Amino acid sequence: MVSKLLSFIFTLVAGVMMTLAFPDFGLWPLAFVSIAMLWFALRGATAWGGFFLGWAYGIVFLAPLLWWASVAVGPVPWIALTLAEGLAFALFGAAWATIRRSAMLEQRQWAMAPAFAVLWVAVEQLRSIFPFGGFPWGKIAHSLVDSPVARFAWLGGVPLTGFVAVLIGALLALLIEYVIRRQALRAAVALFVAVAAVFAGVALPLSTHSQNGTIALGIVQGNVPNEGLDSFSQARLVTENHLEGTRELVAGNPGPIDLLVWPENAVDMDPRVDAQSAADVTEAAQLANAPLLLGTVDYTPPEGRYNTSLLWSTNGTVLDSYSKQRPAPFAEYIPIREVARIFSSAVDLVSSDVLPGVGVATIDVPVASTDSVVRIGTVICFEVAYDQIVRDAVADGAELLIVQTNNASFGNTAESTQQLAMSRLRAIETGRFTVQDSTVGVSAVIDARGRVLQETGLFTAEQMYADVPLRTEITPAVRFGPVFQWGFLIAPWIIVLFAIRRRLEKRYEW
């Protein structure tokens, strides 16, 4: 009974520590400690015990991490999201308990930490695609963007970074076990491998120099009233704020602008059909003397709408466009609407579902100063959390990433800085300079090593100007991304199946 109580306490403390590793706390070393504590909590668990301990861990970790969901849509959807996503950690706990109790690794102690780590990443990959297209928020790699481990994103993306992070935490737990058992040699090996894993990423050849010239960006954060979902009802004011921000940017005479950037939902009255919006965005483009990348909503489909980025010319025409491929479930569209309405009437605020767009997240920008065309990656809001969308954009020739987002619904929470951490990790992963532009902040200019060069505040009206290097190299993470994605997703479940088979063989031995 005492050991079960201790396991539960360890689980709760481990969940809190993982939360503290993420923005806005940013105490990233606690991610390793959290994993080590979870290792000990699950040490003697049965499959069902592992399930409930894992679920408790997930709930304690995710509830504060996802508090922004409560601010946006209320406590009931926030609790439902937390409980549902926590089930992924329950699955992890049950699977790991099954592997450990099968004793299949008893004679292979060296394999225990890697097995723990690869199983963790498999569960992260699974919850990135299921259900309703997945919800990749809260991957351990997102907490480590300021750590040496983040550099592994260049080599193998978010999955490899997560694997290395969990491996270090598991090795820390093994180190403690070996010290308690007075197994000095094994303890020394575990310590050496853990330290080596932390600093091995430093040797990876991350580069920030230009490979194809530069592009001068004018970036506007116009600000939105801090009124949660009600901010969407003030579309005219939001557009006017961004137009005024453009005036202030140009008045500051920052230098020639090749591309003016406005965020997601900056022009919710589609300028292709709304004369006032068309006049406003054309004026902005003419002020900057450059094309304008803006976020709008396309209501032309009879069955719904698109969340769209438009490239608007100085003479008032559309040069290119991209529509979001992964609308956010229960936010931009409502699956199982009748069931969801039982939990919250807020679902009816989404009266027209956002439809998934088709095509790679890229737009071609004509740059007059160099008489060239620059392909940029145009990632919209939560799409930055999805590995394949970003990877496909770079593989398609994007030389720069621009993440257009609208964080107005989430109030003064850490949602924006959590998203910024993802954008920073994508910069490392793809070897691309990355711009996050939000209606309300936090907006930032990020170099190809994930370092923030410029940053705005939250719920402020600000502008940034940056002459950004363009890069063309294809990183290993982009080139071999599908291998890491599917390898980490599929291989661990083979280990689990072998463990189940071994358990069944033991049970039915004569």
**Is 124 designated active site?**
no
386 secondary structure, DSSP code: -
The type of residue at 193 is V
Quote the pLDDT of residue 330: 76
pTM given for the model: 0.94
Quote the pLDDT of residue 233: 57
Residue (of 419, 454, 441, 409) closest to 24 by Cα position: 419
CB 197 within 8 A of CB 164: yes
**pLDDT, tens digit, 9 for 90 and up, residues 138-182:** 999 999 999 999 999 999 999 999 999 999 999 999 999 999 999
Residue entry with tokens 């900057």 = 288
Quote the pLDDT of residue 500: 87
Quote the pLDDT of residue 53: 97
CB 221 within 8 A of CB 441: yes
**pLDDT, tens digit, 9 for 90 and up, residues 60-71:** 999 999 999 999
- Mapped onto helix, strand or coil, the DSSP state of residue 453 is strand
CB 380 within 8 A of CB 264: yes
Quote the pLDDT of residue 400: 98
Stated as kind and residue range, the H or E segment containing 260 is strand 259-261
Quote the pLDDT of residue 149: 96
Question: Half-sphere exposure (CA, 13 Å, Cβ side) for 55?
Answer: 13
Catalytic residue among 85, 124, 177, 264: 264
Quote the pLDDT of residue 329: 82
- Distance of alpha carbon 232 from alpha carbon 264, whole angstroms: 12
Residue entry with tokens 């450990």 = 100
- Mapped onto helix, strand or coil, the DSSP state of residue 365 is strand
Q: b or e along 123-160 (b: 16 or more beta carbons within 10 Å of the residue's beta carbon)?
A: bbbbbbbeeebbbbbbbbbbbbbebebbbbbbbbbbbb
The phi, psi pair for 29, rounded to 5°, reads: -60, -25
361 secondary structure, DSSP code: S
CB 239 within 8 A of CB 280: yes
Residue (of 189, 117, 186, 109) closest to 149 by Cα position: 117
The type of residue at 119 is L
H-helix segments, 181-313: 184-200, 235-251, 275-288
Residue entry with tokens 């790699």 = 141
140 secondary structure, DSSP code: G
In this structure, how many other beta carbons lie within 10 angstroms of the beta carbon of residue 14? 26
Stated as kind and residue range, the H or E segment containing 342 is helix 337-343
- Distance of alpha carbon 207 from alpha carbon 155, whole angstroms: 13
- Distance of alpha carbon 323 from alpha carbon 159, whole angstroms: 26
- Distance of alpha carbon 244 from alpha carbon 248, whole angstroms: 6
- Angstrom CA distances, 455 to 110, 168, 234, 301, 329, stand at 44, 31, 25, 37, 29
- Distance of alpha carbon 55 from alpha carbon 36, whole angstroms: 17
Catalytic residue among 324, 399, 415, 429: 324
Catalytic residue among 139, 381, 415, 462: 381
Quote the pLDDT of residue 510: 46
**Is 381 designated active site?**
yes
Residue partners of 195: CB distance under 8 A and separation at least 6: none
The beta-strand segments (E) located in 331-461 are 362-367, 372-380, 401-405, 434-438, 444-446, 452-455
Residue (of 459, 466, 425, 426) closest to 442 by Cα position: 459
**pLDDT, tens digit, 9 for 90 and up, residues 364-383:** 999 999 999 999 999 999 99
Q: Which residues of the chain have pLDDT under 50?
A: 2, 229, 231-232, 510
18 secondary structure, DSSP code: H
Residue entry with tokens 């599908």 = 482
Quote the pLDDT of residue 230: 53
**Is 332 designated active site?**
no
CB 398 within 8 A of CB 432: yes
